[in-house]
Amino acid sequence: MSLKVPFWSRIYITTLTIIIIFSTASAANAGDTLQFSCSDQIYQAFGIEIVNEFSKKNNIDVDVYPTYSRSAIGRLMNGFSDLAAITHRLDYQMKEYGYVEIPFCRDPIAVIINGNLPIRNLTDKQFKSIFNRQITNWQEIGGPDMKIILVTPGKNTEMYKNFYNLAMNRQPIQYDFISYKSTMAIEAVKRFEGAISFIARGAVIKQDGVTIVNINGIAPADLKYPYFQTFSFVTKGKPEGASKILINAAFSEKGQAIMKEKGMTLITDPACQALLK
Contact 232, 101 (CB under 8 A): yes
Please state, as a whole number, how many other Cβ atoms lie within 10 Å of the Cβ of residue 173: 19
pLDDT at position 5 over 60: no
pLDDT at position 1 over 60: no
Distance between CA atoms of residues 74 and 140, nearest Å? 44
pLDDT at residue number 32: 67
State the CATH class of domain 108-215: alpha beta
Contact 200, 179 (CB under 8 A): no
Fold of 30-106+230-275: D-Maltodextrin-Binding Protein; domain 2 (3.40.190)
pLDDT at residue number 85: 96
Total-model pTM: 0.77
**Pick from 200, 214, 215, 207: which is nearest to 265 by CA?**
200
Distance between CA atoms of residues 242 and 40, nearest Å? 21
Across the chain, mean pLDDT equals 86
Q: Would 30-106+230-275 and 108-215 be classified into the same CATH topology?
A: yes
Length of the chain equals 277
Reduce the DSSP state of residue 161 to 3 states and report it. helix
The DSSP secondary-structure symbol of 165 reads: I
Element (H, E) at 177: strand 177-179
Domain boundaries, the chain: 30-106+230-275, 108-215
- Tens digits of residue pLDDT in 206-228: 789 999 999 999 999 888 999 99
Alpha-helix residue ranges (DSSP H) falling in 178-227: 184-191, 201-204
Instruction: Show contacts of 261-264: CB within 8 Å, 24+ apart.
Output: 261/205, 262/45, 262/46, 262/107, 262/201, 262/202, 262/205, 263/107, 263/108, 263/201, 263/202, 263/205, 263/220, 263/221, 264/45, 264/46, 264/105, 264/106, 264/107, 264/201, 264/202, 264/231
- Tens digits of residue pLDDT in 48-104: 889 998 988 888 999 999 998 999 999 999 999 999 999 988 988 999 999 999 999
Q: How much of the chain exceeds pLDDT 70, in percent?
A: 88
